[in-house]
Amino acid sequence: MSKTRIAIGCDHAGYEFKDAIKKHLLDKGYEVTDHGTHGPDSVDYPDFVHPVAKDIIDNHAAFGILICGSGNGVAITANKYEDIRCGLAWNVEVAKLVKQHNNANILAMPARFITADEGKNLVNAYLEETFEGGRHQRRVNKMNPNSSYYC
């Protein structure tokens, strides 16, 4: 049986946070593809978002995790991809809802506003949830303005 693969990426604000999350995932038995960054030198977060999003689209990973200072830059960048739904979470309830209601395939987290331990809890909550479908599927279908579902 193959293990679930998760792609992970971050900018300089989140590299220590990413390393803690990566270790946590490996300890839980997940496979992790780490797209960097790996140090404190200033980098451009889109350079680390694109490979994570492409891993999801190309079915090289089941889920993605992105981290930057606020979580917003990585989420905005990831959501430029048609088949990506990246949800920003800062507490466990929101982490659950981005999966339950939005069927998010990438979780974004704000390294400057939560601790690595809180991040581990968010990751656990997100990965343990399932998409509820139903009325939420109808809404997810309308997210793409090119979709025939869009009003």
Q: Which residues are catalytic?
A: 68, 101
CA 129 to chain centroid:
14
- Name the token pair of 144: 């793409």
User: Where residue 114 falls among pLDDT bands split at 50, 70, 90?
Assistant: very high
**In CATH, what class is 5-141?**
alpha beta
Q: What is the pLDDT of residues 65-108, one digit of tens each?
A: 999 999 999 999 999 999 999 999 999 999 999 998 889 999 99
- Name the token pair of 25: 């995932």
Listed by start position, the domains of the chain span: 5-141
pLDDT at 1: 42
Q: What is the pLDDT of residues 40-52, one digit of tens each?
A: 999 999 999 999 9
Indicate the pTM of the whole model.
0.92
The enclosing H or E element of 87 equals strand 86-88
